[in-house]
Structure 1
Amino acid sequence: MKLFNSKSLYFYIGSGLAQVVTIITTFYIIKKFTPEAFGEFSYYFSIGSIIGSFATLKYELSIPLSQNSVEANDKSNLTILVSLAFNLIFSLIGLSTSLYQFNIYFLYILLLSNTVSINACFQQFLLYKEEHFLNGLTPLLFSILNLGILLFLTQNNGEVILSSYITSNIIMLIIYLICVKRNGYDILFKNISFYKQLFRKHLDFPRYVLPSSIANILLAYCNPIFIGYLFDKNNVGLFSFSLRILMLPSIVIGSVASSIYRTKIAKQYFDNDIEGIRYQTNNLFLILILLAIFCFPILILVIKYIPLVIDMSRWKGVVPVAVFLVPFAISQLFFQPFSNIALVFKKNKILLLQNVIQLVATVLVYIISFLCKFEFEVFLMFFSATLLIVSFYSCYRFHKILKQ
């Protein structure tokens, strides 16, 4: 299996088209719904998505790192059990305190968190099975379903957007279940003592990989908050919009290549094929270099000429902001795929350390910018350059694992 071939091409195309439909959906929501409605949706969506992401304790990432189909099946069932238990415990805690009220939004959050975690589990199972056509088709189906349901809903409130998203998730759960069953997934669970043993055997995932994911989420969400504190909301908007466009190579191609790369080198790891892993790593590096050289100049041109299609009179200054953020976008393009080396070689302490270093470096950038009273443009250059250096150092540490 190569990172780019006729089989994996479906994965890339499907992920790319899904992003296109998602962007269309975003413009439709902006046009049809009020900011208050979108804010209400975002609030509950964030809660459900974060809980769903953490509910698996990141055991789903162990599924592609399996020696055979039986082990992948057992890890999938373990992930489902863990996520269901976590969601149940969190719901009981929420209801017994002031976090939750038993109403329609509680049910929405419960449905969203459970479907997010179980769908993530099935996605990783299909990834192990190298069903790249299905892994490309499913996100595209989801984005089309979400847009299609929204088109038929008439009310203008956050509950409408949320119900559309959850309905799409439930339909996708049924589709995923059919797909994994056809690929040999056995939904019959073994005795609880077996899963206790399996849980302990792969304890590194909640111990190291889960905190690494928390660090990534903090990195994603803290930037707008800190920028809003240091500068103003206008700069937050310019930053967020620019980054949304510049992260497309990472979302569409980088994440797909990363998933395929992780599955491939995991199988080579069990076969003790270190030379094969090095070959795949060199291929990955070449792909990411080509993406950085060709994609980012094109995206800058896209941002520059968007005003010819959409009124961007209130978004003056977005082009220089995007240019300053290119090094940061490149750093994220490389970090995610190369972090798989630590995951596969069971060097999860290194993975956690590098994520923490990125988080600490980001916070230090903001502290220094605050103390030195940097202008926004100076801050962007300092921010991008620092994260680029830190990410490339992390990639060096990950690559060094291969030599050991």
Structure 2
Amino acid sequence: MSSIYKNILLLTSASILSRLIALLSIPIITRLYSPSDMGVLSAFISITSVLLAFSTLRYSVVIPLPRTQGYALNASVLCLIVLSFVCTLLFIVTYFFNDVIFEFFNLNTLIEYWYFLPISLLLFGLVEILNTWAVRYKKFKLISSANVFQSSIGATSKIIFGLINLNAIGLIIGQVLVQAGSVIMLLKFYCSEFSSRKVTLKRILYIARYYSDIPKFRLPSQVLLALCVNMPILFFSYHFDTETTGQIGLALMVLSLPISMIGQTIGQAFYGEVANIGRKKPKQIQKLSKDIFKKLLIISLLPFTVLVIFGEDLFKIAFGAKWADAGLYARIMSLYIIANLVSSPLVNILNVYARNSLYLWVNLSRFLLLFGVFSLSIYFEFSIINTLFIYSLLLSVHYMFITLLIFKILDFEVMKLDSNVSV
């Protein structure tokens, strides 16, 4: 138990520092760029995030699972091959159809800079692969350093580009540099562990076949998850102007700070720990999961309370009067912070017990739920406030459902183990 909390403390400390750098830079960035510029960035990141689900066909989740380094190494090479193919395909598609893609999301500013999309996806994919490789070896200090470095690079570049009036393009380049910074930090460790003698086509194909359920079930699940997470930005980018999208984008950016700083960070350490424990010890995983759940529930109350009470005033003071709407939107959407924080690390248990088909149905139900919300919003012409409130409420209910479902799975695994022992 002590190892996971040591890793969590290390990751959380670095994550707090990296997020603090990002947080301190936002008041400067919001005064250098307009809501419209931020809207372009938010839509660009959302499109990239959805495409990221295809980058490795989700084989990246396999890297921590094999017991031997050889098979883990072949899994990582499989991911790199898939990533290269996907990015090449995206490059070809955006080369011929960039005007159609960007005009659909009101991103005409980016048409002449279409090549940033495949470049961004390549870097995002590399970060995912290299980060998961580092998690396998519990190199949490390295991951922490990479997080701080990339946050510093991103904040500095966006401020510099804002000072020389590059507008939305400056934000896009800064975002690309964020991922590049992380790749630089993590690639050295990966190369130090790489052994070409252990990589064979036979082993790569074996990994692809043995974990074939991953692209069958986890890929559609991840695509649906990415669509759900980015649906507000994509919806407002398509249905409203870039200024409204920018206000929503800033609200979501601020809301994502506690989620990424706490939930995702703990999730990395938690996944590394439960993968190491193994599926044959469900009681140990169950005890750890309950402990993590209780602590996250207590921690999440603070950001929720602060945003609900002081949301608009905080945004005006921190980011300027023109971002007051973002503060209002953040107050409304803060409803789902608690449910999101407590469920996000626990989802990794579905990887350990290979419940990929279940993960697919969970994300499909969430996607249909949110798609219904935004479709009804268009049909009945709901206001932005009403749309966000319904979205936040239903998302909270769904996250709570996921948490209960995971604990039911753990109960089942414990009962199965007890019955086998008694027999």
TM-score (norm 1): 0.84
Matches within 5 A, 1:71-150: 71-95=71-95, 97-99=96-98, 105=113, 107-150=115-158
1:361 aligns with 2:369: yes
- Alignment partner, residue 209 of structure 1: 218
2:63 alignment counterpart: 63
Residue 251, structure 1, aligned to residue 260, structure 2: yes
Retained in 1: the 8 A contact 2:255–2:337?
yes
Aligned AA (1:65): L
Q: Percent identity?
A: 18
More moved, 339-348 vs 6-15? 6-15
Contact 1:64 1:127 in 2 (8 A): yes
1:385 aligns with 2:419: no
* Change in 2 beyond 3 A, CA 1:235/1:334: farther
User: 1:148, CA displacement in angstroms?
Assistant: 3.0
Taking a change above 3 Å as real, the CA distance of residues 152 and 2 of structure 1, as seen in their structure-2 partners, is same
What is the aligned residue count? 399
1:295 is aligned to 2:307: no
Tell me which moved more, 292-301 or 110-119.
292-301
> Displacement, 1:49?
5.1
Residue correspondence of structure 1 range 173-192 to structure 2 within 5 A: 173-182=183-192, 184-186=193-195, 190-192=199-201
Kindly tell me: are residues 85 and 283 of structure 1, through their superposed partners in 2, closer, same or farther at Cα, counting changes over 3 Å?
same
Query: Which whole-Å CA distance do the structure 1 matches of 2:150 and 2:326 have between them?
Result: 34
2:345 aligns to what? 337
Larger deviation, residues 288-297 vs 221-230? 221-230
Pairing 1:218–2:236 present: no
1:183-217 deviation digits (Å, cap 9, x = unpaired) = x3436662323212211211222221121121122
Specify whether residues 171 and 370 from structure 1 end up closer, same or farther in structure 2 by C-alpha distance, changes over 3 A only. closer
Partners in 2 of 1:167 and 1:356 — Cα distance? 33
Per the alignment, do residues 41 and 385 of structure 1 end up closer, same or farther by CA in structure 2, a change over 3 Å counting?
A: closer
Q: Distance in 2 between matches of 1:107 and 1:246?
A: 29
1:282 aligns with 2:281: no
- Contact 1:56/1:117 (CA < 8 Å) preserved in 2? yes
**Higher mean Cα deviation, 151-160 or 351-360?**
151-160
In 2: Cα distance, 1:106 partner to 1:317 partner: 28
Matched residues in 1 for 2:113 and 2:410: separation? 48
Deviation sequence 1:80-112 (CA, Å, 0-9, x none):
1211122223334544x43489x9845543432
CA shift for structure 1 position 6: 3.3
Distance in 2, matches of 1:187 and 1:303, equals 53
Q: Secondary structure of the equivalent of 2:6?
A: coil
Deviates more, 1:244-253 or 1:276-285: 244-253
Describe the shift of the 1:217–1:100 C-alpha distance in structure 2 as closer, same or farther (beyond 3 A). same
CA contact (8 A) 2:312 2:331 kept: no
Q: Is the contact made by 2:251 and 2:327 (CA closer than 8 Å) also made in structure 1?
A: yes
Indicate conservation of the 8 Å contact 2:250/2:326, yes or no: no
Unaligned runs of 5+ in 2: 101-110, 413-423
> How far apart, CA to CA, are the structure 2 residues paired with 1:299 and 1:222?
22
The residue identity in structure 2 corresponding to 1:126 is A
* Distance of 1:164 and 1:247 partners within structure 2: 19
Q: How many Å separate the matches in 2 of 1:167 and 1:232?
A: 27
Contact 2:262 2:341 (8 Å CA) reproduced: no
1:370-381 superposed matches below 5 A:
379-381=387-389
- Greater Cα shift, 298-307 or 329-338: 298-307
More displaced stretch, 310-319 vs 113-122: 310-319
RMSD of Structure 2 on Structure 1 (CA): 3.5
Greater RCO between the two (CA within 8 Å, min separation 6)?
A: 2
Distance 1:373 1:135, change over 3 A: same
By how many angstroms is 1:377 displaced?
5.4
Give distance in 2, aligned partners of 1:156 and 1:232.
21
User: Which structure dedicates a bigger proportion of its chain to helix?
Assistant: 2
Matched letter for residue 221 of structure 1? N
Q: 1:169 aligns with which of 179, 194, 206?
A: 179
CA contact (8 A) 2:259 2:341 kept: yes
Q: Counterpart in 2 of 1:265? A: 274
Provide TM-score, normalisation by structure 2.
Answer: 0.80
2:21 is aligned with 1:13: no
Does the aligned pair in 1 maintain the 2:36–2:244 contact within 8 Å?
A: no
Structure 1 residues 397, 17: closer, same or farther in 2, change over 3 A?
A: same
Distance 1:53 1:358 in 2: 16
Could you tell me which runs of 5 or more consecutive residues in structure 1 were left unpaired when the two chains were aligned.
none
> How big is each residue's C-alpha offset from its partner over 1:31-62, in whole Å with a ceiling of 9 and x where there is no partner?
33456665665665555554444211111122
Given the superposition, is the C-alpha separation of residues 302 and 62 from structure 1 closer, same or farther in structure 2, using an over 3 Å criterion? farther
Structure 1, 223-232 or 172-181: larger mean CA deviation:
223-232
One-letter identity of the residue aligned with 2:297: I
